[in-house]
Amino acid sequence: MQLEKLGQLIYDLAKQEERDLAPLAPEGIFYMPELAFAYQCGKAVMRDPAAIFGTDKVTWHRERDLGNGGPTDLLFELDDGRQLAIEFKLRSTSRAYQADVNKLAQIDDGNCTKLFCALVDVFSKDLPDDGRQRHIEAMSTPQVTVVFKHEFATRQQRYASAVSCVVALWQIH
């Protein structure tokens, strides 16, 4: 699986949504609901699954219950039995991020790659991290590895200060 390529695809999709929203809303990417973003990511992957998985024989599911404490946002199943499970969070707290990471860790299928994707709203002056990313990366259990991380400026009305969106993708071991 090309996980870095998946991170770039998610990043490109978030930036495109930022551009698409410019004439439609006074907000950027964080105006989009989390599950809508997850769904758009699923569609984007399925336009060319071979680019990520090395095969076109992939089935995707949204909000699939894997028996790990609630539905998983996206699941990709390959014909060879491998799976990719992804949880998404947009503009949330360290505690919420940790809950999703722990939920993914409950999947004990050895054929399942588990990813957590956060679109983090960070004050631009605090880039690259306001502490939420470090919190996830400092967890000792489960082990978390950075797959992809990059940011772009976004628009929002919630704060007076400039905000950026950090697109972060971590693999859960």
Q: What is the pLDDT of residues 135-161, one digit of tens each?
A: 999 988 999 999 999 999 999 888 889
Judge contact between 85 and 75, C-beta under 8 A: yes
Is the pTM value of this prediction over 0.85?
yes
Give me the domain span that covers residue 147.
Answer: 3-172
Count of domains observed in the chain: 1
**pLDDT score, position 140:** 83
Contact status, residue 58 vs residue 49, Cβ threshold 8 Å = yes
Question: Which residues have CB under 8 Å from 87's CB, separation 6+?
Answer: 72, 73, 100, 101, 103, 104, 115, 116, 117
pLDDT in tens, 24-38: 998 999 999 999 999
Say which residue the tokens 């809950």 belong to: 99
